Amino acid sequence: DTGVSQDPRHKITKRGQNVTFRCDPISEHNRLYWYRQTLGQGPEFLTYFQNEAQLEKSRLLSDRFSAERPKGSFSTLEIQRTEQGDSAMYLCASSRWTENTGELFFGEGSRLTVL
């Protein structure tokens, strides 16, 4: 079990640039989640996939954000025209969903700093 891996771990960019984060879930997990976390706050739900289908998007996910999971394995989260308010830790999690459990396994996160 190699765990959930995220790349890059840190990204510094200038306002207006596009950034992309990648998440590789645990291999047999069919659900993949993206969360955002700012300093002093708990993780905030952004979106999740079951296999390749994006089943829900939070209202926090503005038009500048797009997430994909094309083959039901890894996922990417792209932020276009970054703003300073996008600075945060972006967390990916995966789970093997069953009816009664489905606890999440989180990666270490990708920290974004927008200058």
Partner 1 sequence: DAKTTQPPSMDCAEGRAANLPCNHSTISGNEYVYWYRQIHSQGPQYIIHGLKNNETNEMASLIITEDRKSSTLILPHATLRDTAVYYCIVRVEGTGNQFYFGTGTSLTVIP
* Listed ranges 60-68, 70-78, 79-87, 101-109: which one lies at the site for partner 1 (CB under 8 A): 101-109
Which DSSP string corresponds to 5-51? EEE-SEEEE-TT--EEEEEE--TT--EEEEEEE-TTS--EEEEEEET
Nearer CB in complex with partner 1: 63/99: 99
Any contact of residue 67 with partner 1 (CB under 8 A)?
Answer: no
Any contact of residue 12 with partner 1 (CB under 8 A)?
Answer: no
Any contact of residue 97 with partner 1 (CB under 8 A)?
Answer: yes
How far is 48 from 52, CA to CA, in rounded Å? 10
Residues sharing a CB contact under 8 Å with residue 101, sequence separation 6 or more, in sequence order: none
Any contact of residue 109 with partner 1 (CB under 8 A)?
Answer: yes
* Listed ranges 12-20, 65-73, 75-83, 97-105: which one lies at the site for partner 1 (CB under 8 A): 97-105
**In angstroms, how far is the first alpha carbon of the chain from the final one?**
36
Binding site residues, partner 1, CB under 8 A: 4, 31, 33, 35, 40-45, 48, 55-56, 91, 93, 97, 99-109
